Chains A and B, each alone.
Chain A
Amino acid sequence: MITVKNLNKTYNPKKNPVQALQNINLSIPSKQKIAVVGRSGSGKSTLMQVMSTLDKADSGEVLIDKTNILQFNDKQLDKFRAEKMGFIFQNFYVDDTQTCLANISLPLEILNMNKSARKRLSLEALERVGLEDKAKSLASELSGGQRQRLAIARAIVNNPKILFADEPTGNLDSQTGWQIIQTLFNLTNHLGTTFIMVTHDITLANMCDIIFQMQDGKIWQIDKKSNTKEFNNIIK
């Protein structure tokens, strides 16, 4: 269970303040799939970053299993991210200089895991995203879709409790994106991961259990939409 209470975040508070998050309150039950939708600049990415501790909030609480992770010190945050969280970004952020295996192995290295366990889990993760034959290839040799698969494998290799995905298909064509989403949904179902995703796609949003809409740094829950026109009003 994730509970967010009175979360606030203002960029450039002194010069040119942008209130990206305004008193955000929400609740996310475990193992659910969450879609966050809204217009560009509404604060979706900011929310993801603050909830996942990549960025600091100005005030408020993020309770995960009743622990407020915002009061952790840096080292505790690092550990929490390493053990409990996974991240997928629109532009993949895979390390082009490394092989696929080395990319996936990094979170496990950070967890101080030994080499053989690392290799086993990494290969398993590669298999889950259908890249088992690319283990030894450099990440730079992969296509866009394959890179995002690699990023997914890296995000789930530590078996996280929560997986954050900020427009995971944003840089992919619709067919490839669709395959990626299927992979993600299958994996999170299988692993029982809480999945929080920012999307601009009605079909994807409708596949999730809960949909949140954001506007001007505020958030509220909405019903699933049956027609695209209605949805487009929300996101564009």
Chain B
Amino acid sequence: MKTKNIRKTDLLIRALQALRHAKTRTIFTALAISVGSFTICAALSAGLGAKSYINNTISDRGDPTAITITYDFTNSQKPKDYTPKKYSDNTENNNTDQINNSKNVVSEQNSETFYNQSFPQNYLTKVKNTEGLDQIHYGYFIDGRYFTGSNEQKYKTSVNTQIDKQAIQLSTAIQGVDSQYILKDNEAFVSENYYKQLGLNDKKQLLNQQINIAFFATPEDEGGSLIHKTVKVVGLLNEAGARTYAPNTIYIPYNMVNQICQNGQKCQFISLSASVKNGYVIQDVISKLKVIGSDLTVDSMQSTQEDLMQSIQIAEGGLIFFGALALLASIFGIINTQYISVLERKRQIGMMRALGMHAKDISRLFRYEAGLIGLFGGFIGCVLALVLTLFNPLLSKLFNITKPKETLLIFDWVSSAGLLILLIIIAIVAGYFPARKAAKLTPIEALRG
């Protein structure tokens, strides 16, 4: 005798109706699941957002083949003498009306340590001879002193060089030129904060102003003399960028400093930057550089990106792990609520069996219900995670992301859909045990209640 089964859609409708009847229980079971699914969906959103942010920021910074080679002087040449040197009471410093910014102390704190160290000459030769390297630049340490404001007042500032080919980190925060702009001779980016000191009413008026600056390229106690230059402002470093990376600073062209330093001969530096020539594999070049000395750290855009990606993945994985734990706990909720449901509906089950419904279909009905609870719970969690992305503008503000297109949370539709499907499957598997109990009842056992 051929047997026909009840249609799946009819069974699904009956499952939905049963859940609707047990509304409160269904909602609370689903909410338990939603905790886990929310955590996972939110982790996925944050992961996707962070990855895309890093990708965009790094590709913004220009040359992806860029490599930084840093000499780790603390490793090999620990200073023998830790006693502080005498502070030379410099008149230039005393006359300066200081711009009160607590973060602008980098040069003073580190200068001594830096000055006493330099990239070893033999390393430099080896780096220069490395095949595949191009455009080697010296990471000079500039000791910025002041810029001259209105009324010939001097204001303290730090000074950095912009290294060609590698748009500066502040790309997100330069106004006046596009973010990839390379400074030409005697041009500069200047903190937008400097307008008052220059006697201007508005930040915008800073553009195209000529400013006199003073800095040491070679430390004073090593025989360096204060260098005076006049630069033209072509871009403004704005608040957001300045707060994150370099407060109250001035960027000058690399060549301006390189000329003074005569190609690395006159000034000290501990890092080099370079790019990899076309046709060479970045990783191969990095390996060659690393062989030069164990106290050389070689970073590339690529490896930086990979490192960042990895740490994001670890953080994301951790969150997902806890989400999965929450889900695991909620599975017992599904099993529990479905067992109760079977007990409550014994007579209904008996009647269905009396009317000829197969035991297998009874079991299927209860598994459908479990699957639907899983779907609801997962859906609630994912919707909450989606709602969370509405707070992107707030988060961007919190983390100083000024590009309108950049968001920290990007809802991961594909993975979330995958999660929902996975949840349905897990819930159905969890629902198997109560469903089996329901199916095992003989019609008369069930009818007796």
Chain A residues close to B by CB (< 8 Å)? 49, 52, 54-56, 72, 74-76, 78-83, 85, 87, 89, 93, 95, 97-98, 102, 106-107, 109-112, 154
Contacts and interface: CB of A to CB of B under 8 A. Distances in A.
A205 to B, nearest CB: 25
Interface string B346-363: 011011111111110100
Interface in B388-446: 442-444
B103 interface: no
B17 A98 contact: yes
Nearest to B355: A107
* Residue among A56, A93, A102 with the highest chain B CB neighbour number at 10 A: A93
B21 interface: yes
Top 5 closest A-B pairs, CB basis? A82-B356, A81-B356, A112-B4, A97-B21, A55-B444
B86 interface: no
Nearest to B359: A74
Contacts of A52: 354
B256 interface: no
A93 B10 contact: no
Interface string B142-153: 000000000000
B5 interface: yes
Contacts of A72: 1
Contacts of B354: 52, 54, 81, 87, 93
B3 interface: yes
Nearest to A106: B355
B260 interface: no
A175 to B, nearest CB: 27
Nearest to B11: A109
A154 B14 CA distance: 17
Contacts of A81: 354-356
A97 B444 contact: no
* Residue among A55, A82, A98, A154 with the highest chain B CB neighbour number at 10 A: A82
Contact of A93 (B6, B357, B447): B447
Interface residues of B, number: 28
A106 B13 CA distance: 12
A65 B350 CA distance: 27
B7 A78 contact: no
Contacts of B447: 54, 89, 93
B27 interface: no
A89 B347 CA distance: 12
Contacts of A75: 1, 3, 358
Nearest to B2: A79
Nearest to A112: B4
Nearest to B7: A112
Contacts of B7: 109, 112
Contacts of A110: 6, 352, 355-357, 361
Given A76-B3, A112-B6, A97 B17 contact: yes
Contacts of A106: 352, 355
A85 B353 CA distance: 12
Contacts of A55: 442-444
Contacts of B443: 54-55
Contacts of A80: 356
Contacts of B444: 49, 54-55
